[in-house]
Amino acid sequence: MSSPPLRETPLGGEHAALGATLTDFGGWNMPVRYASDLAEHRAVREAAGVFDVSHMGEILVSGRGAAAYLDHALAGRISSMAPGRAKYTMILAEDGGIVDDLIVYRLADDRFLVVANAGNREQVAAAMAERATGGVDVEDVSDSYALIALQGPAAAEILPLVAGVSALGELGALRNYAWTDALFRGSPLLVARTGYTGEDGFELMVGADEAVALWRAVLEAGAERGLVPAGLAARDSLRLEAGMPLYGSELSRDVVPAQAGLGRVIPADKTGFVGEAAKDPRPGARVLVGLTTEGRRAGRAGYPVLRGDAVVGAITSGALSPTLGRPIAMAYVDPDAASAPDLAIDVRGTRVPATPADLPFYRRSTR
């Protein structure tokens, strides 16, 4: 039986025209790179990069009971958010396992936008619909919108120069995890100070029919300021340096938030929500740690973590860090090995000493 055709974002033709190398990413035909993984990574750290993230899922929640419903359906206390703010949170299974990690935007008192990972869009939409109560509407609006991420230290300089953007307001007043309304060629444009790279930047949500024009306008505005189009490879190495977990690597239904160092997404005094079991400790459960090694041989996903002759964990993500110039990795290890000085990674049969490291590996300087 043949596999279904890969889905295309509204920018599929743009990626092909730019000569991108494309791959299957969660059923979507997405750009891995346009020219060089390393050049794209460095551009985001030093100037700016633009990413197509239109494969992400967008779910609109509205109605008089929307805030209370989201408090029940999700891990965070969504009702405490003010309009104009965003929050990182999760949707959990009954046993506390992670169904997906999310960003929630409060658009108005009774209107919210939930952004889910592309590969989990259907599961998240179904779970949220199942948890909905009377007077609350849950609508998957993903196909109506495009999402473009402008990331890097020059992002705030570039965005006001994008032709067609108006009514943007003062970007300096837009805090991290906040959003504002703007216009692009007269159409609504949501501008959020969020991202997945560890740098300053913005995520721009626009109607799907305006995606190509906005993408081209961003590239043109940043052309003389070091901006480049960037693909999945750079996005992955950037988020790894920033210690940001990836669903399917660090996060899954077999993991509760506390194991990933994200217990803070659940308020200590919160009760009565789906997945409340995540608050109970799981004695002996492996925990997420950062690891660094010397040399050039990086641990990759699935490589065993050793302590003496015993396997005490496994790498979930690893790479040679372009910014730090050394191999870094995230791994789940037994709790008593989380800070052990005598760990090693089995790199294709070679034992490479590894040192526990605080996450994130990289933190941007204040600019």
Per-residue pLDDT of the chain (367 residues; tens, 9 = 90+): 567 899 999 999 999 999 999 999 989 999 999 999 999 999 999 999 999 999 999 999 999 999 999 999 999 999 999 999 999 999 999 999 999 999 999 999 999 999 999 999 999 999 999 999 889 999 999 999 999 999 999 999 999 999 999 999 999 999 999 999 999 999 999 999 999 999 999 999 999 999 999 999 999 999 999 999 999 999 999 999 999 999 999 999 999 999 999 999 999 999 999 999 999 999 999 999 999 999 999 999 999 999 999 999 999 999 999 999 999 999 999 999 999 999 999 999 999 999 999 999 999 975 4
Fold of 57-138: Alpha-Beta Plaits (3.30.70)
Identical fold for domains 12-51+143-241 and 283-357, yes or no, is no
- The residues spanned by each domain of the chain are 12-51+143-241, 57-138, 283-357
**Cα–Cα nearest to 196, from 234, 143, 248:** 234
Q: Which fold has domain 283-357?
A: Elongation Factor Tu (Ef-tu); domain 3 (2.40.30)
Q: What is the pTM of this model?
A: 0.96
Which overall architecture, per CATH, does domain 12-51+143-241 show?
A: 2-Layer Sandwich (3.30)
